């Protein structure tokens, strides 16, 4: 009977993994730009994880079948269903990390076969994985055998990653660990790529704010410009934090950029989230909606701001409140999202601050129609510097199909909008980037929950000068449909001065007299010194 391995490495901690893998990225930095080595390193991280998980499941099958015949054990070890039933990807022999690591310098030519570099072997492994696991179709990068790839450095990277061990901590913990490392890498690469990084990565604290306000518990979750899939991952984490079944939500997304779409598919696969809702290929949401007629219960989105070149048609039936301007897609994104909501659906959309007040290209008229249509439930002004790649301040628009009493809350909020001014919240992570703390996120989210009267709310809603205000449609009309929270919430009250006015006058008089006396004394000292100089 085949024996289980006896030379297992200890599982890596999250810190060990992050340190080792970022060192791995350093091996390629300089020979290619950030967007290229992002795909290279993240692909290898994924390959190492699925191989470790496969080996761990293989060892478990051996232990489960101890005492059975070698033939039966051998057949079970090659039964793909034994792996997939435990949410483990099937990994063919030449796609396993042990094979890649053993050939980190490539395979020399023989009488029957051509030479293969380590990059060729990795590309073959990626193709094999995708062919034999449906959820990985059209997902994994096959960039390792290209002419511009330094094969020596790639082999060194493979050697370095041998020290990384995902197995030995249970499938669930290993997946969580990989997810944590993957998100760390997405953030690091987004920072390295600067402004372009914002195309695929929304800061985690911003995503969590949307998720904590919408509280997606079951149904369809949609993102029309899903980037690397962070909205979906945080929605699943929300359910896990509240000890609810993550399978109660299904995700639907769309992404225009091919590489980012593949990144999203891989990210979801890593977190054990079904990837079918991302479609069979990347696609422009405006040119072709790949989920037509599918009502969405929750929409979480961070659309690219102020797009000037987009697939615009004036007769598009998504424009319920007015045709968006030719040179700006902001109000096209918002109307597309509104058109996707189910009869009880809600949405949270990150937008540039200009959307709250702009009148360019008819945007003011569209905003007026949206408010008169009573679709806006809340506007949150966020602090600056949340996005490393841009200094554009942002806000979040929240939509609700139903604002009355019902499933979304016990408070009647028709013809009202909640304004939250959160610009003073957050802390600086470094010199250029700010983040919202857990307390900041909960303060914002609980304000909305109490306003709607949700079961999860802590306390009752009250307007707080300088922070939040529930404004009526009449008040918004008086403000010419401008939605910047500042004028609605007003200024925060200054601390009350408890000192009686008579006592204050006496104290200030004494302080002023003392200051004048000191001035006279210093004047005398200066004059005396000047006299000494002239003597």
Rg over CA atoms, the chain = 30
Helices (H), 194-257: 204-214, 230-241
User: Is the pLDDT confidence value at 179 over 70?
Assistant: no
DSSP annotation of 355 reads G
pLDDT, one tens digit per residue, over 313-326 is 999 999 999 999 99
Q: What is the pLDDT of residue 33?
A: 64
Q: How many percent of the chain have pLDDT more than 70?
A: 89
157 confidence band (pLDDT: 50, 70, 90): confident
Q: Greater confidence, 260 or 308?
A: 308
- State the virtual CA torsion across 130, 135, 136, 139 in degrees, nearest 10: 130
Q: Which two tokens stand for residue 202?
A: 């929304």
527 confidence band (pLDDT: 50, 70, 90): confident
Mean pLDDT of 367-392: 90
pLDDT, one tens digit per residue, over 463-490 is 999 999 999 999 999 999 999 999 999 9
pTM for this model (two decimals) = 0.81
197 confidence band (pLDDT: 50, 70, 90): very low
Provide the b/e sequence for 475-509 (b: ≥16 CB within 10 Å). Answer: ebeeeebebbbeebbeeeeeeeeeeeeeeeeeeee
pLDDT, one tens digit per residue, over 133-147 is 988 888 898 989 998
> What backbone torsions phi and psi does residue 157 show, to the nearest 5 degrees?
-65, -45
User: Is the pLDDT confidence value at 200 over 70?
Assistant: no
What is d(CA 487, CA 169) in angstroms, rounded to the nearest whole number? 53
């Amino acid at each position: 009977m085949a024996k289980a391995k006896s030379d297992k490495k200890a599982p890596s901690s999250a810190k060990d993994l992050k340190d080792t893998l970022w060192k791995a990225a350093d091996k390629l930095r300089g020979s290619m730009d950030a967007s290229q080595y992002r795909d290279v390193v993240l692909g290898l991280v994924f390959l190492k994880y699925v191989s470790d998980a496969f080996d761990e499941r293989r060892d478990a099958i051996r232990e489960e079948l101890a005492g059975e015949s070698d033939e039966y054990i051998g057949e079970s070890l090659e039964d793909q269903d034994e792996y997939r039933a435990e949410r483990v990807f099937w990994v063919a022999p030449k796609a396993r990390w042990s094979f890649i690591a053993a050939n980190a310098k490539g395979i020399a030519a023989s009488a029957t076969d051509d030479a293969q570099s380590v990059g060729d072997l990795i590309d073959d492994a990626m193709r094999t994985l995708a062919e034999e696991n449906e959820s990985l179709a059209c997902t994994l990068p096959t960039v390792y055998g290209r002419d511009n790839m330094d094969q020596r450095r790639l082999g060194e990277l493979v050697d370095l990653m041998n020290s990384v061990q995902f197995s030995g901590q249970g499938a669930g913990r290993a997946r969580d660990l990989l997810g944590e490392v993957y998100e760390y890498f997405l953030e690091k690469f987004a920072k390295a790529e600067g402004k372009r990084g914002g195309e695929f990565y929304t800061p985690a604290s911003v995503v969590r704010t949307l998720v904590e306000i919408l509280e997606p518990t079951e149904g369809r979750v949609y993102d029309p410009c899903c980037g690397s899939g962070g909205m979906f991952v945080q929605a699943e984490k929300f359910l896990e934090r509240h000890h609810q079944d993550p399978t109660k939500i299904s995700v639907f997304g769309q992404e225009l950029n091919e590489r980012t779409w593949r990144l999203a598919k891989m990210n979801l696969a890593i977190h054990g989230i079904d990837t079918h809702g991302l479609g069979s290929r990347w696609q422009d949401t405006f040119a072709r909606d790949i989920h037509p007629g599918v009502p969405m219960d929750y929409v979480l989105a961070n659309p690219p701001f102020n797009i000037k070149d987009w697939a615009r048609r004036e007769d598009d039936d998504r424009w319920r409140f007015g045709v968006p301007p030719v040179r700006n897609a902001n109000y096209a994104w918002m109307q597309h999202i509104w058109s996707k909501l189910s009869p009880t659906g809600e949405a949270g959309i990150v937008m540039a601050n200009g959307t709250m007040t702009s009148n360019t290209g008819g945007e003011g008229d569209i905003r007026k129609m949206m408010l008169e249509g009573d679709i806006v439930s809340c506007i949150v002004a966020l602090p600056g510097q949340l996005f490393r790649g841009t200094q554009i301040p942002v806000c979040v628009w929240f939509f609700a199909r139903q604002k009355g009493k019902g499933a979304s809350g016990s408070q009647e909020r028709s013809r009202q909008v909640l304004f939250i001014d959160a610009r003073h919240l957050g802390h600086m992570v470094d010199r250029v980037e700010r983040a919202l703390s857990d307390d900041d996120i909960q303060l914002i989210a609980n304000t909305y929950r109490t306003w709607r009267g949700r079961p999860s709310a802590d306390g009752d809603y009250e307007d707080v000068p300088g922070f939040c205000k529930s404004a009526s449609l009449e008040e918004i009309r008086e403000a010419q449909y401008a939605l910047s929270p500042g004028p609605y919430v007003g200024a925060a009250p200054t601390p009350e001065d408890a000192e009686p006015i008579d006592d204050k006058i006496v104290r200030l008089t004494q302080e002023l007299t003392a200051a004048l006396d000191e001035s006279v004394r210093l004047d005398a000292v200066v004059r005396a010194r000047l006299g000494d100089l002239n003597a």
